[in-house]
Structure 1
Amino acid sequence: MTIEQPPTTWGRTRFGTGRTPAMAIAVPLGILIGIAGGLLAVVFGVAGAQPLVGFLSFAAFLTFPGIAVVFAVVVDRETLKGATQHPDDSVESGWYDRATSGTFHDIIVVLGVTSLVLAFIPRDFQVDLKLVLPAVLALCFVSTGIRYLLLRRKG
């Protein structure tokens, strides 16, 4: 016999008995993620000239995103107060799906045309992938954003 518990502001875990608050797991694991990120920064030399300051900076800036990711993984949506029961059935979710689907086709066309143009450019022309790949990513963001806004405007 299970006892039905009311939803809470921060929710509970979706595994085990389901009585453990999600933040009781997310906070310690998020802190560990921050510490691990700080250690990795020191080990790989990204922390800078002062390893202690670099470690503390990386650990501090990675802790809260770590907590958020762990929380999102362990929380049971049904135990959250005010959570939408089926978020994938919303109108906004449909707009997003249609926008990203259109963006995929945009990227195929743009990359195809770009490949065709680059095939006829002389061999001494160099393209730096450090610039091209972020440009493709920016194109994805812009295309999805514009498509989403247009679909939202249409209703």
Structure 2
Amino acid sequence: MQVRIIAVGKIKERFLSEGIAEYEKRLVPYLKLTLTEIPEEHRGARASSGQKQLAKEKEGERILAAIPEHAYVVALDLRGKELSSSELAARMHDWQLSGTNTIVFIIGGDLGLSDAVLSRAAFRLSFSPMTFTHPMVRLILVEQIYRACRINSGEPYHK
């Protein structure tokens, strides 16, 4: 199985990059993971709501262009469904059994995801009603994908 994470923006914090790199190494025996960074749309600090909406739509176009044609798309969205680690593992197992070869997780930027991206998603996932930085969400996501792989392989994992 292939898993792709498409995320808006770059990670600036070294500790987050190192954590993500560690989980990328741990995932090698289980699946092929690809991280794709989509550039943030530049806008001024005093951008109007219309300018922000246009920026979100432009980011959305770049996200949609990066999604493989037959991929199963999971959008990370505050209004999405919250799952436990075991439930995420079961979903990933089910998606794979249904013939899904590629799962794409999408993390938007500070403006969120465009309606077009949310419409393309087959599933909307929320980690928490709490607010996390978008780079931090990447680390949490790769850790949860790793945890799901271990659960689905029948290996022990920390509860």
Shorter-chain TM-score tier: under 0.3
Greater fraction of residues in strand: 2
Greater fraction of residues in helix: 1
Superposition TM-score, scaled by structure 2 size? 0.22
Superposition TM-score, scaled by structure 1 size? 0.22
| Larger-Rg structure | 1
